[in-house]
Structure 1
Amino acid sequence: MAEIMTENGIREVLSWEEFGTATRELAHKVVDSGFEPDVVVAIARGGLVPGGAMAYALGTKGVGTMNVEFYTDIGETLTDPRILPPLMDTAELPGQKVLVVDDVADSGRTLQLVMNMLARQGSDARSAVLYTKPRSIIVPDYSWKDTDEWITFPWSALPPIGHDHSIDA
């Protein structure tokens, strides 16, 4: 795991190779606990890639996404997380074993929103994240690593491509 110093402080950098190792190790934690999810729900956007990788690692065919907006920039959030359209049809989830996957439990508010919603609907839901921060208000059921640093994930390391983009090297 590499750390780099930026103008905003130290960052933990997760490479694609380390991501593969992290998701396999996280999947082992789920399997070792005896939890066998019927469905993996990825929290978009940060949890999309980890959610898909976890579904493959666990052999889970049922995959869905919940679109939640909370962070607007590094260290900047909305007042409260909110679920965005398109909305996932959760009608089939009550009684199902659901693994909710996200990239990081930073404040934990996004993960808590989704977990509370699934609990109210009667799902047996557990949570898995790559990273947990010490300030998170929720302790995920499964976490690969604890950190207090801002994390650069391989899928979000570069800025979005706009209409005036140049070729990325």
Structure 2
Amino acid sequence: MAGALDDSGSSVLTETEREVLGWLEFGEAARHLAGEVVESGFEPDVVVAIARGGLLLAGAISYALGIKSCGALNVEFYTGVDERLPEPVLLPPMLDEAALKAKRVLLVDDVSDSGRTLAMVVELIRASGAEVRTVCLYSKPHTALEPDFVWRKTDRWITFPWSALPPVTAGE
């Protein structure tokens, strides 16, 4: 992805190269996606987030759908802007797969970029004997797995409101 270089020589994306999501728009998107799930006739028993990116969206959608049964699966894939590990990696704590047997699962993530994380987790959940549908705020044109429900499609790098700033450090 094109962009200027900062003082350290790292790539810096300009605003025109980014899709920027604000908190208010996030709330509208979550409600819209919950409406699409309802309109489809799919009635999830449980909402599962792919952490960390899917945590806030999963919470918002579970509230909008009135579903109290929620869980998360920790997956690491991205290490920086457009930088990934060779394969997605599951991190502890692990999801209780046995609890998903014969359930209808709504799997939630922030974006289906390559689609590899989403595909890996879908297969994991299906292997537990559950029916699964996927929902993401965004999908990219080159994704290997198009979510069942998606709010927007973009080919730009996405700045989410929860990860727009660096981590808080001591003394701030």
Length-normalised TM-score, structure 1? 0.92
Distance 1:55 1:30 in 2: 11
1:18 aligns with 2:31: no
Length-normalised TM-score, structure 2? 0.90
Look up the match of 1:113: 120
TM-superposed deviation, 1:145: 0.6
TM-superposed deviation, 1:8: 2.1
**Residue correspondences, number:** 161
Distance 1:162 1:151 in 2: 24
Could you list the runs of 5+ residues in structure 1 that have no partner in the other structure? none
Tell me the amino acid that sits aligned with residue 143 of structure 2.
S
Look up the match of 1:160: 167
Work out the percentage of aligned pairs sharing the same amino acid. Answer: 55
Distance 1:8 1:16 in 2: 21
Look up the match of 2:42: 35
Distance 1:23 1:13 in 2: 16
TM-superposed deviation, 1:20: 0.4
Q: 1:137 aligns with which of 118, 129, 144?
A: 144
1:79 aligns with 2:49: no
Could you list the runs of 5+ residues in structure 2 that have no partner in the other structure? 5-11
Distance 2:66 2:89 in 1: 30
Distance 1:161 1:113 in 2: 31
Find runs of 4+ consecutive structure 1 residues off by over 6 angstroms.
none
Tell me the amino acid that sits aligned with residue 19 of structure 1.
F
